[in-house]
Structure 1
């Protein structure tokens, strides 16, 4: 920077020549220099003020915009931020169709020990054994006096147990907070819910994972934070489920059965309102699975979904309904029932001789094996197989449970004439009670395929038209007559128009052949028959009932049918179904037999294949 001199030589010389005072020149230059310095300082100060003002305006604008955003946003609870290494165990609730809790989370504590920090390990072991009766005092003492640095004692415990442990006063006993899965209804719907267990664990938290049932099937969804804690709403009704289990348990006891299963399903939606399997378990204390022997001996075994049973005469309506649909027969068509019927080296008989022929309706009402096989022969093996496959009897059910694939029907690899015959009356093809319920629901749904589901209110694609509505109506009419004048008369409940079919099948031996005194008795029903709303299937494993005369009976007509009737009496009011006594199904007059005498009680007891 070049500065202007205060006493420039040229001006000083000119001033002296003119006789002026040179000091005035210096004074003027000094004044101008000071003014320039002051102007520069003023400009710098003004710039700083403008910059500070801009910063203040920007800051206040930012605060104002943020306040406006918060004021216009929806209020919500603050979310805790956690370290990524922390184990998260938050899990959504499971509810029934009315929002009642079936499974939820509860804050509890785990108990672990640092043996090296214990003051009195022997006393601690004694105190813990008194609080937790399942702990071994001697084993605890050995663990506490060993070189171990850490050991789990209890993964979860009640507040009372925690206080009792705290009162021991041992510094080496420590607590860790965690969530546990709780099933407040105990045994109710245990097979549906399945249960849960702990995955990755830390002393301060644990990961809760589903181990069976819908808990495992929807494990990812239940643990997904994106659901914001929304519950999983099942289709079952807790009240109806409880009532079904009560009736089923009583029926199982009265009929001296080894096990039992029951299903109540809405026909239009396929939603399962109740589904039970006995014996059951408490998912809060889920037992260990059997490692050997028959899986069905375990209370964990779900007979309704996993059971693979030959369901006997309940299958007879399938070939008859298909033949009605194809126009091969009508309800009054005469069917040859002459015995014995030979297929190769095999003979097929009815327990009672029904004469040379029966109407197609009476083939179902009297449950004629021979008549059913005659109708199946009209269909042919390929058409029979195709129809059964469309009913879903060849594949696992699509039910939302991890156990569903294990209940895949046992379908014959070959389908010769004798297999076609035996399958027509429910032998040679083993399926679950849920398969049977879905197949009957398809018939009752005007022949449109119904797939069972445990999820309430979801929109689902319409099923395939398997059967014509007219054929379906005629099939339901036949099933209604089975209850009014056939082998299922003990299933009748006044006002509810039960239509159904009994089925009794001997249980196969593991070594081959069949047991003579062990069977599975089933009753599959639709009600009300004039406007089908619900399908119900009841199955008893190895039932036996003593009749009035002292004889024993294992038939479904004497064992399962009365249990199903009691179930309808209990469940129908709970699902809002009113009894009506003035509604009748259309009847079909036989062309060759204008009057058919109803079966006597003795005849019902004798029909062992029903």
Structure 2
């Protein structure tokens, strides 16, 4: 409705106005307002903002823990300390890599996006990929740890809603060379095996969870491993497996003065850059996580027990002319001499009969106590998580003690066997093994005396005699100038609860140089076959020469100088 202009002006009428006309209003009266609509609008605004405020209060009061998602996001960017060998060579380090993710809510056409991604990553399951891209989620991982080429190819596709996140990836330059020692990490860069897991358990995981390990330069963790010696051990074991057609092999080099593990490996091994290989049941760490009856290498401990008991000495004799019959079993020698043997002859001829009589003389309780003292019946304490618990009879009877004396009836790990042997040649002190650097002073602080120095001297003599004497079972391990000593072990394997005669687990337990031992070297060969032209596949034919090859190559690297003085000069023992 339009009003005349006169109604829009205030004031009185103009002069000359006619008499009788209606007087003009003094001011304009405003049109009536719809108060009900105004109240409704105000009410609606109030309701909307009240709802928003209520939701904000509700969300603020809710006790939600976002720390996990934050920590999970931070963890993939967390730095891990490098692992280096004793000489500073890198065993494990971090590299940056890209991972592919999607934000499905931003993807315009999930079908088209999945088809494009399949052109770069054809190993994707098309149905799985489409479901991920068509979901209602705000964020989904598609592929972790892409190569730079794959990342660039996906960037060139220009798909909205597809992005990358930079992560830390663990890289092992040596591949499988030291895989069982370093262990490996999972896709979130968390240690799940070997020394990687040990580092996490020592407090690194807490640094990850608190975000203190993000983009942080952490001090490298030095291991006791010598990468050069590690390579030699692995190389010689691989050659032995091929030469003797064995199904597996393992080896360890141990410093007898400090307990440091200088090298340790087991074949078949795995590449920690491809952790899925570790799931193969044949790729296990046989040296610390495998349990075996160690066969005649256990005669080393039986003889040491006999000497340390002072009931016998190097002049003692044992009648090995006839087999021993006990509990329905017959105990015989592999190549019996059928005569009285001296204690050194029992050792070098590896007589089961003589070893059984040594154990009988000491007694059941003394036998069990001695092996426990050497750490052969309890779980070994070291940094590596993969350590098996030895097995023994629930009740020791005379027959158990007799069979254990020559290596049947007790299962232990090869690494424990090497550690116990080190105590017999280093002067009589048991030193827990370590995969971290340790000084001699630190080792002395944790060492425990388990045999006398005289017993240790006698065992060094017997070790050397078994290699230097052509009658000894370990003569094929001889390396001129390094005075190698040791003991062979050939054990029939137990399959389905029964001993199988044609399947053997062979070992050679050695030390060098025997005038002043520095290193124990143990090699095991699983199910070897006779070498071409040979009739036997005993430990003296395969494990012993493999030890000799390892010592020949690594002795100089370990700074052990050869001596070409008259043989045995420093090992003469009066008996």
Same fold per superposition (TM over 0.5):
yes
Counterpart of 1:560 (choices 532, 536, 543) is 543
Secondary structure of the structure 2 residue equivalent to 1:575: coil
Distance in 2 separating the partners of 1:367 and 1:578: 31
Gap change, CA 1:574 and 1:176, over 3 Å in 2 = same
Secondary structure, in 3 states, of the residue corresponding to 2:430?
Answer: coil
C-alpha distance after superposition, 1:502-550 (max 9, x if no partner): 101111122x21122212110110001111000010011111123425x
2:358 aligned with 1:358: no
Q: Is 2:363 the partner of 1:380?
A: yes
Give the C-alpha shift of residue 420 in structure 1: 0.4
- The 10-residue stretch of structure 1 (125-134 or 412-421) with the greater mean CA deviation from structure 2: 125-134
Distance 1:532 1:127, change over 3 A: farther
Partner of 2:490: 504
The residue aligned with 1:17 is none
Within a 5 Å distance, the mapping from 1:426-575 to structure 2 comes to 426-457=407-438, 459-460=442-443, 461-484=445-468, 485=470, 486-510=472-496, 512-548=497-533, 551=535, 553-575=536-558
Q: Out of 94, 98, 108, which is 1:105 matched to? A: 94
Separation in 2 of the partners of 1:287 and 1:272?
26
Q: What is the alpha-carbon distance in structure 1 between the residues aligned to residue 138 and residue 319 of structure 2?
A: 82
2:308 is aligned to 325
Alpha-carbon distance in structure 2 between the residues aligned to 1:351 and 1:124: 72
Asked whether the 8 Å contact 1:521–1:541 carries over to 2, the reply is: yes
Using the TM superposition, name which of 101-110 and 117-126 deviates more: 117-126
Per the alignment, do residues 134 and 572 of structure 1 end up closer, same or farther by CA in structure 2, a change over 3 Å counting? Answer: farther
Following superposition of structure 1 onto structure 2, how do residues 90-101 of structure 1 map, counting pairs within 5 Å? 90-101=79-90
- The Cα of 1:288 is off from its aligned counterpart by 6.1
Which residue of 2 is the match for residue 131 of structure 1? 120
> Using the alignment, how far apart are the partners of 1:327 and 1:584 within structure 2?
28
Match of 1:279 among 265, 268, 278: 268
Contact 1:124-1:168 at 8 Å conserved across structures = no
Q: How does 1:9-408 map to 2 (within 5 A)?
A: 87-88=74-75, 89-119=78-108, 121-122=110-111, 124-132=113-121, 134-137=123-126, 139-145=128-134, 149-199=138-188, 208-219=189-200, 220-223=202-205, 224=207, 225=212, 229-287=218-276, 290=279, 297-299=281-283, 301-404=284-387, 407-408=388-389
* Unpaired segments ≥5 residues, structure 2: 1-69
How does the TM-score come out when normalised to structure 2? 0.81
Structure 1 length as normaliser, TM-score?
0.76
- Contact 2:336/2:351 (8 A) holds in 1: no
Q: Distance in 2 between matches of 1:503 and 1:133?
A: 52
For residues 465-519 of structure 1, give each alpha carbon's deviation from its aligned partner in whole angstroms, at most 9, with x where no partner exists.
1111111111111111111221111111111111001101111122x21122212
| Range moving further from structure 2, 374-383 or 122-131 | 122-131
Structure 1: where are the runs of 5+ without partners? 1-82, 200-207, 591-610
- The structural deviation recorded for 1:345 is 2.6
Classify the secondary structure of the residue corresponding to 1:574: coil
State the distance in 2 between where 1:416 and 1:516 align: 25
Structure 1 equivalent of residue 24 of structure 2: none
Distance apart, 1:331 and its partner CA: 1.5
Determine the structure 1 residue equivalent to 2:33: none
CA shift, 1:332, in A, is 2.5
CA contact (8 A) 2:270 2:277 kept: no
Q: How big is each residue's C-alpha offset from its partner over 1:397-424, in whole Å with a ceiling of 9 and x where there is no partner? A: 11201112xx111111111001000111
Residue 130 of structure 1, CA deviation: 4.4
Aligned residues: 489
For residues 109 and 386 of structure 1, the distance between their equivalents in structure 2, rounded to whole angstroms, comes to 57
Using the alignment, how far apart are the partners of 2:299 and 2:98 within structure 1? 57
Distance in 2, matches of 1:133 and 1:187, equals 28
Distance 1:273 1:181 in 2: 23
Deviation of residue 114 (structure 1)? 2.5
SS in 2 for 1:209: coil
Residues 35-78 of structure 1, C-alpha deviations (whole Å, 9 max, x = no match): xxxxxxxxxxxxxxxxxxxxxxxxxxxxxxxxxxxxxxxxxxxx
Residues 549-580 of structure 1: CA deviation (Å, up to 9, x unaligned):
5x3x3311112111111111122122222222
Cα pair distance change 1:382/1:165, threshold 3 Å: same
Contact 1:393 1:409 in 2 (8 A): yes
Secondary structure of residue in 2 paired with 1:196: coil
Q: 1:341·1:370 contact (CA, 8 Å) conserved in 2?
A: yes
* SS of equivalent to 1:284: coil
Quick one: structure 1 residues 569 and 101, their matched pair in 2 at CA, closer, same or farther if it must change by over 3 Å? same
Aligned equivalents of 1:479, 1:184: Cα separation in 2: 38
Within the candidate set 386, 398, 422, 1:417 is matched to 398
**Contact preservation (8 Å) 1:394, 1:409:** yes
CA distance change for structure 1 residues 142 and 326 in 2, over 3 Å: closer, same or farther? Answer: closer
Q: Name the stretch that deviates more: 312-321 or 340-349.
A: 340-349
The alignment partner of 1:504 has SS state of strand
Q: CA deviation at 1:182?
A: 1.7
SS in 1 for 2:273: helix
- Spell out, residue by residue over 1:216-235, the C-alpha distance to the aligned partner (whole angstroms, 9 max, x if none): 12204345459971221110
